[in-house]
Amino acid sequence: MTNTPRSLVRARLRSELLSSVPMMDGGEASAVLGSQDALSEHEAQARILRVAQAAEVLYPRFQFDIPRHRLHPAMLELMGMRTDNWGSHMALLHWLTRPNRSLGGARPSDRLATDGDAILRSFAAELAQPLT
């Protein structure tokens, strides 16, 4: 496979995005959720945001409600709202980590614990927009 300028830019942007987000590996995510079985169930039901980095699967830390040993309820809702044609987990990660006008310029990832309803409304509006 040849590295075209577009693929090189895409790889650089992906790398920058992933390096800007605190991540957990599978062991850490399992510990927060209480077991490997709990993590596996979330994965089987596509209820957890995960990205592949090299040979490892990583989980953005912001989606976890660590004191309660669960995923933030708003994150579970977001994962259920996603449509196959909307985009990949990377597209959702990008959306969650960028300033959002509906949230007064805050990043959805920073407000999952406090503004779940507003985040869900904003994401529903995003889904209603045709992809260009």
Instruction: Please indicate whether residue 90 or residue 114 has the higher confidence score (pLDDT).
Output: 114
The mean pLDDT value for 1-12 works out to 70
* Residue predicted with more confidence, 93 or 7: 93
Query: DSSP of 13-66, one letter per residue?
Result: HHHHHHHTS-EE-HHHHHHHHTSHHHHHHHHHTT-S--EEETTEEEEEGGGEEG
**Alpha-carbon torsion angle 92, 43, 120, 95, nearest 10:** -10
pLDDT value of residue 9: 66
pLDDT for 105 equals 97
Q: Which residues contact 88 (CB under 8 A, 6 or more apart)?
A: none
Model confidence band, residue 40 (pLDDT cutoffs 50, 70, 90): very high
Residue 37 has pLDDT above 90, yes or no: yes
2 — pLDDT class (breaks 50, 70, 90): low
Per-residue model confidence as pLDDT tens digits over 56-89: 999 999 999 999 999 999 999 999 998 877 778 8
Q: What is the rounded average pLDDT for all residues in the chain?
A: 89
Q: Name the DSSP class of 76.
A: H
- Is the pLDDT score of 8 beyond 90? no
**Cα dihedral 31/32/34/40 (nearest 10):** -80
CA distance 96 to 75: 10
